[in-house]
């Protein structure tokens, strides 16, 4: 009995060590975002957000704004720059906040204020302050794959992204479009459609 209990405790401990993050895909163009920071890290965050959602509504607040940030914002009218220090009023009506400065104290202050308003926060290079992480993303047309290492190693996530980018052919988007057309033309109930679609895509998972 004692051995069995040890086994149960070990299993529970192992479960706790697993990545318990729940991946979601957000419609950023329907949300209001705040990005605090206009330097290199802010540029990286901004580029990632706009690369995935070109019409995202983003307010960028920073006393110094990198020229590359300005050029990127110029191409995206849904974004606005406020060249000044952060103000607590900047959190009003925001859905997500991204912090990308080199000021840990400022990040902690904004995180506390945002949490009080029920706003989720991502803090660059500070996993313990994050409510959510940004993924490394593989995109081939309408196919999008998000990769998470639970904040352990962004470098590893980037390497896996490179592997998947090379492994997945660009033509996969044509296949997705064809599958959608086939699905729209299918008759029968939901279970029958799923069965037939599974049969059509079975070759994708067969080992060669």
Secondary structure letter of residue 163 according to DSSP: H
pLDDT band of residue 50 (cuts 50, 70, 90) is very high
pLDDT band of residue 207 (cuts 50, 70, 90) is low
pLDDT at 192 over 80: no
Torsion angle of C-alpha atoms 38, 39, 45, 50, degrees rounded to 10: 60
pLDDT band of residue 35 (cuts 50, 70, 90) is very high
Are 11 and 36 in contact by the 8 Å Cβ rule? The answer is no
Q: What is the pTM of this model?
A: 0.79
pLDDT at 55 over 70: yes
What pLDDT shows up at residue 10? Answer: 44
Which residues are bridge partners to 80 per DSSP? 59
pLDDT band of residue 41 (cuts 50, 70, 90) is very high
Quick one: which of 135, 102, 146, 107 has its CA closest to 123? 107
3-state secondary structure (DSSP) of residue 121? strand
Q: What domains sit in the chain, N to C, each tagged with a CATH number? A: 28-133 (3.40.50.720), 135-168 (3.30.160), 172-205 (no CATH)
pLDDT tens-digit readout, 128-179: 999 999 999 999 999 999 998 887 888 899 999 999 999 998 888 888 887 7
Are 137 and 74 in contact by the 8 Å Cβ rule? The answer is no
How many C-alpha atoms does 88 have within 13 Å on its Cβ side? 8
What pLDDT shows up at residue 204? Answer: 64
Quick one: which of 102, 114, 107, 162 has its CA closest to 138? 162
pLDDT tens-digit readout, 70-114: 999 999 999 999 999 999 999 999 999 999 999 999 999 999 999
What pLDDT shows up at residue 9? Answer: 45
């Amino acid at each position: 009995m004692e051995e069995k209990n040890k086994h149960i405790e070990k299993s529970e401990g192992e479960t706790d060590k697993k990545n318990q993050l729940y991946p979601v895909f957000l419609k950023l163009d329907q949300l209001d975002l705040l990005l605090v920071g206009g330097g290199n890290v802010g540029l990286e965050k901004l580029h990632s957000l706009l690369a995935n959602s070109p019409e995202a509504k983003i307010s960028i607040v920073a006393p110094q704004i990198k020229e590359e940030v300005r050029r990127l914002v110029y191409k995206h009218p849904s974004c606005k720059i406020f060249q000044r220090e952060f103000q607590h009023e900047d959190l009003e009506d925001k859905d997500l906040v991204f912090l990308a400065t080199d000021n840990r104290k400022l990040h902690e202050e904004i995180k506390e204020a945002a949490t009080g308003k029920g706003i989720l926060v991502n803090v660059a290079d500070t996993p313990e302050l994050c409510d959510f992480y940004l993924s490394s993303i593989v995109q081939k047309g309408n196919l999008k794959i998000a990769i998470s290492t639970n904040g352990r190693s962004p470098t590893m996530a980037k390497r896996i992204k490179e592997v998947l980018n090379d492994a997945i052919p660009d033509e996969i988007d044509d296949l997705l479009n064809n599958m959608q057309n086939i699905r729209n033309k299918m008759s029968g109930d939901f279970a029958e459609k799923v069965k037939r679609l599974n049969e059509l895509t079975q070759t994708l998972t067969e080992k060669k």
